[in-house]
Amino acid sequence: MELELLLRESKSSTPSNAVHAERDELPRRYDEVRRTTQWICAPLTIEDCVIQSAMECSPVKWQLAHTTWFFETFVLLPHDPTYREFHPTFSYLFNSYYNAVGTRTPRDMRGLMSRPTLAEVWDYREHVDRAMNAFLKHASENAIEQANSIIVLGLNHEQQHQELIITDVKTILAMNPLRPVYRAREITSTPVAPWNWIAFDEGIYEVGASGTEFYFDNEGPRHRQYIESYELADRLVTNGEYKEFISDGAYQNPAIWLSDGWAKVLEEKWQAPKYWEEQDGEWWAMTLQGFRPVEDSEPVTHISHYEADAFATWSGARLPTEFEWELAARDVPTEGNFLEEGNFHPVVQTSVCDSARGSQTKVCATQMFGDTWEWTRSAYLPYPGYKAAEGAIGEYNGKFMSNQIVLRGGSCVTPRDHIRATYRNFFPPESRWQFSGIRLARDRK
């Protein structure tokens, strides 16, 4: 893959398992993650990097500095007595929401800062990278031990911003009538078979993360959950299927919408997924490969929870709970269309199940990871026994557990080694700017 060749070989919280990486592994891992961010930004101009296209988005320049500020603030300043701060005002400029760290630039003002320049932000990253590399190589075992888990968290934090940078850039390019291309890719079209249903038995199941591998604190504690018998679609909903939903007058039919969703349809005048435009009776969409016709066999994306729920209702189904999704995904290999593939867009289903046995072919879940984040019907709430960490790092996650819906599975711009079956993403139900899609569920008959 393009990125893997380059490297020679992506809202959450603090790790509740306090995972530690081997000291010899930390410098390589740090360099890999930081260079991936550079690779993501390589096609961008200075102008691309300074725009804040919406309140929920941040300029690329700000994100490059914020992820660097994280290592400076939580690793170097408290653990390396030889480190000298790059600029005393950067803590105010690039703090995101950590009240315990101090005051900060209001979120809607991030795109109004012409200074520092993008070049100065890259200098800032280089300054912190040199200091981090020296710290990782020469610090005492005790200092590394104390900083280890926060370094691992910082790397996962930067992977989250790698995904956010790409989705934010897409909002910027989509606003431009020149229809700019981020990275050109060849598009393929393959027919998709109708979805099948996979049955799961009722029972008490253990859900959530545990063990020695990294996970964010909102993925735990691991606990028992009773799940009724249900069925899950074996693949994601496609653009072609969503077109049928539109053609049937879904955006004019309040009966299939949640009340808040119908209010949002009227307020925002939604008629199709974000980035779709109708031209001469055909649907086109802005993608990171440019403006092109909507491919029917690709998974539908950039839809809100309200649209996903309305589609499910219209289909005679529903969205899965996050626990139903996790049960279905826990034995599925973490494979799919991720950031490293360089597609930057959902692709046609290509994974297959076990080979045919006689006249029967095993039905299995595909596209569980990558392509699109999958909306669930679950509110984003703490698990039983959850407790946010003390101090600034405790602000990373717990305070967002209100008015959000859980999504699972990762997307086409999620780093492959960043996702897992227990990973809980979350967004407000009206959000459409992320690569979000639909997998249907239904009560088992």
- The CATH number of whichever domain residue 352 belongs to comes to 3.90.1580.10
CB atoms within 10 A of CB 328: 24
State the pLDDT at residue 17. Answer: 52
State the pLDDT at residue 360. Answer: 41
State the pLDDT at residue 396. Answer: 59
In this prediction, residue 355 has a pLDDT band, given cuts at 50, 70 and 90, of very low
Least confident of 202-206, 381-385, 391-395: 391-395
- 99 and 54: one domain? yes
What mean pLDDT comes out for the span 328-357? 83
- 60 and 170: one domain? yes
- 368 and 422: one domain? yes
What mean pLDDT comes out for the span 286-305? 97
Helix (H, G, I), strand (E, B) or coil at 420: coil
State the pLDDT at residue 153. Answer: 93
| Structural domain includes residue 192 | no
| Structural domain includes residue 56 | yes
- 330 and 390: one domain? yes
- 407 and 362: one domain? yes
In this prediction, residue 402 has a pLDDT band, given cuts at 50, 70 and 90, of confident
State the pLDDT at residue 109. Answer: 81
Q: What is the CATH number of the domain that holds 52?
A: 1.20.120
- 427 and 304: one domain? yes
Whether residue 406 has pLDDT greater than 90: yes
- 275 and 404: one domain? yes
Q: What is the mean pLDDT of the chain?
A: 90
CA distance 139 to 79: 9
- For residue 128, give its domain range: 2-174
State the pLDDT at residue 397. Answer: 62
Q: In what order do the strands lie in the sheet with 197-200?
A: 197-200, 230-233, 441-443
- Residue 79 neighbours by CB under 8 Å, 6+ apart: 135, 139, 143, 146, 147
Beta strands in 177-296 (DSSP E): 197-200, 203-207, 223-227, 230-233, 276-279, 282-287, 290-293
Cα angle: 172, vertex 121, 1; to 5 degrees: 60
Helix (H, G, I), strand (E, B) or coil at 287: strand
What mean pLDDT comes out for the span 281-287? 97
Distance of CA 296 to CAs 283, 302, 347, Å? Answer: 10, 15, 11
Whether residue 142 has pLDDT greater than 60: yes
The residues facing 442 across adjacent strands are: 231
Which 8-state DSSP code applies to residue 74? I
Whether residue 50 has pLDDT greater than 50: yes
Least confident of 11-25, 218-232, 259-273: 11-25
Q: Which amino acid is at 384?
A: P
- 321 and 383: one domain? yes
- 157 and 54: one domain? yes
